[in-house]
């Protein structure tokens, strides 16, 4: 009775006993794994340099114009600050989203039906809404300042953006937690119960610690996805790396700068996110859980 909502094991959809388990990222991209080594990184940097320096040499003929490389280097400190801002936004959203998500996930396996169902509804709603729409929602509907005890506290756009991005993070984390909690063998609950643990104690002392390993790879992957979503904040007027890039491009007003500049920014994100995805795969292989 106590365990009734836990009896339904999460079924691995699509799996058939005659087939091998499908391992998406687990053994995925063995090629890309091999790509992420010193050799390929060097090649990547060289290729990038060629893209940047190539046009630069081509322009030596017109000495009055600065080379593409010079321009990129000049803008690098500004862009780096912008990128740092993206990282800050991603870290904060992840933090807030994870805290809310773990809570929501636990509610999703609550024994009380209405709680379980509303938690499910909230999770599905935010999981299936476009990130950009959620950002608009927050930026336009959260007031720009709050009054706390008569003191006006400003609520800048970027904080609203953090909240907007934390909503989908919450929803995904909630789903991960639900899956992980349900994947813990029922025996764990039963043995804890027979030792006299309350449900709450069982959850916090026995079940949740075991979910960490199971959730970690998906959670890290989510972080990479979130980081790649941070440029969206430029659309709603936050001065992140994307907004700064576009400002730089219009300040320079040179058509030949467009491709190198965008590639430059893309490679920043690549160099930040690729190691995270690679690590995710390594962890997934290591912790691969048989559901």
Partner 1 sequence: MDLANTFIDWLRPDWFLNLAVVSDDYNRGRYVAGLWMTIKLSVVSIFLSLLVGVLGAAVQGAPSRTLRVAVGLFVAFFRNTPPLVQLYFFYFAIGTVLRITGENGLPQPLISNFGWAIISLSLFAGALNVEIFRAGVEAVPRSTVEAAEALGYTRLQIYTDIVLPLAVRVSLPALGTNLVNLVKTTTLAYAIAVPELLYISAQIWSEDLNVREMMNVLLVSYVGLVAVLVWVLHRWEKALRIPGYGE
Partner 2 sequence: MTWTPQQPIVSLKDVHKSFGSVEVLRGISLDVMKGEVICIIGPSGSGKSTLIRCINALNDIQAGSITVEGLEVNDPKLDKLALRRKVGMVFQQYNLFPHKTALQNVMMAPIKVLGQDRAEVENRARALIAKVRLNGKEDAYPGELSGGQQQRVAIARSLAMNPDVMLFDEVTAALDPETVKEVLMTIKDLAADGMTCILVTHEMGFAREIADCIYFTDRGVIVESGPPATFFDNAQDPRTQQFLAQIL
66 binds, among partner 1, partner 2, none (CB under 5 to 8 A by kind): none
Cβ neighbours of residue 81 under 8 Å, at least 6 residues apart? 244
Contact segment (CB under 8 A) with partner 2 among 17-25, 39-47, 72-80, 226-234 equals 17-25
Query: Could you say whether residue 140 binds partner 1 (CB under 8 A)?
Result: yes
**DSSP assigned state of 67:** P
199 binds, among partner 1, partner 2, none (CB under 5 to 8 A by kind): none
Q: Which of 1, 4, 19, 31 binds partner 2 (CB under 8 A)?
A: 19
- Between 17 and 196, CB nearer to partner 2: 17
How far apart CA 251 and CA 243 sit, in angstroms, is 12
21 binds, among partner 1, partner 2, none (CB under 5 to 8 A by kind): partner 1
Cβ atoms within 10 Å of 5's Cβ, excluding its own: 14
**Alpha helices, H only, the chain:** 30-35, 38-58, 68-108, 113-128, 131-141, 157-183, 186-194, 199-201, 208-229, 241-252, 258-286
197 binds, among partner 1, partner 2, none (CB under 5 to 8 A by kind): none
Helices 113-128 & 157-183, crossing angle to 10 degrees? 130
Write a three-state SS string for 185-220. Answer: CHHHHHHHHHCCCCHHHHHHHHHHHHHHHHHHHHHH
CB of 285 to partner 2, least distance (A): 24
- Between 174 and 234, CB nearer to partner 1: 234
Residues in 236-275 at the binding interface with partner 1, rule: CB under 8 A: 242, 246, 249, 255, 258-259, 261-263, 265-266, 269-270, 273-274
Query: Could you say whether residue 18 binds partner 2 (CB under 8 A)?
Result: yes
CB of 16 to partner 2, least distance (A): 6
- Between 105 and 231, CB nearer to partner 1: 231
- Between 18 and 61, CB nearer to partner 2: 18
Query: What are 130's two structure tokens?
Result: 């476009």
Residues in 119-138 at the binding interface with partner 1, rule: CB under 8 A: 125, 128-134, 136-137
Size of the site for partner 1 (CB under 8 A): 62
How far apart CA 281 and CA 272 sit, in angstroms, is 15
Cβ atoms within 10 Å of 238's Cβ, excluding its own: 25
Query: Could you say whether residue 19 binds partner 1 (CB under 8 A)?
Result: yes
Beta bridge partners of 146: 153
- The alpha carbon torsion through 187, 192, 193, 198 (nearest 10 deg) reads -140
Give residue for tokens 């390993």.
Answer: 213
Contact segment (CB under 8 A) with partner 2 among 10-18, 24-32, 44-52, 160-168 equals 10-18
Q: Which of 16, 140, 151, 255 binds partner 2 (CB under 8 A)?
A: 16
How far apart CA 217 and CA 41 sit, in angstroms, is 24
How far apart CA 196 and CA 205 sit, in angstroms, is 13
Query: What is the contact surface with partner 1 in residues (CB under 8 A)?
Result: 11, 13-25, 27-29, 31-32, 35, 125, 128-134, 136-137, 140-143, 146-148, 224, 227-232, 234-235, 242, 246, 249, 255, 258-259, 261-263, 265-266, 269-270, 273-274, 277
Query: What is the contact surface with partner 2 in residues (CB under 8 A)?
Result: 16-19
């Amino acid at each position: 009775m106590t365990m009734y909502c836990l009896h339904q094991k999460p079924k691995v959809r699509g799996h058939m006993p005659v087939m091998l388990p499908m391992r998406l990222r687990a053994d995925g991209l063995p090629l890309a794994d091999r790509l992420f080594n010193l050799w390929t990184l060097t090649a990547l940097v060289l290729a990038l340099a060629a893209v940047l320096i190539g046009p630069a040499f081509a322009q030596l003929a017109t000495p009055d114009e600065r080379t593409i490389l010079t321009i990129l280097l000049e803008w690098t400190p500004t862009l780096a600050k912008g990128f740092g801002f993206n990282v800050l936004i991603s870290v904060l959203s992840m933090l807030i989203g994870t805290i809310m998500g773990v809570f929501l996930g636990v509610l999703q396996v609550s024994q009380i039906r209405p709680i379980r169902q509303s938690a499910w509804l909230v999770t599905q709603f935010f999981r299936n809404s476009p990130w950009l729409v959620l950002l608009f929602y927050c930026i336009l509907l959260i007031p720009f300042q709050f009054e706390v005890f008569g003191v006006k506290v400003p609520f800048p756009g970027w904080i609203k953006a953090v909240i907007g991005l934390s909503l989908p993070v919450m929803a995904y984390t909630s789903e991960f937690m639900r899956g992980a909690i349900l994947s813990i063998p029922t025996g764990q609950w039963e043995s804890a119960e027979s030792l006299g643990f309350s449900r709450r104690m069982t959850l916090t002392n026995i079940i949740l610690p075991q979910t960490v390993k199971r959730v970690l790879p998906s959670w890290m992957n989510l972080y990479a996805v979130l980081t790649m979503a941070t440029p969206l904040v430029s659309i709603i007027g936050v001065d992140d790396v994307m907004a700064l890039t576009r400002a730089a491009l219009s300040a320079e007003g040179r058509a030949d700068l467009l491709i190198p500049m965008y590639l430059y920014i893309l490679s920043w994100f690549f160099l930040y996110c690729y190691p995270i995805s690679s690590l995710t795969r390594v962890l997934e292989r290591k912790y691969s859980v048989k559901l």
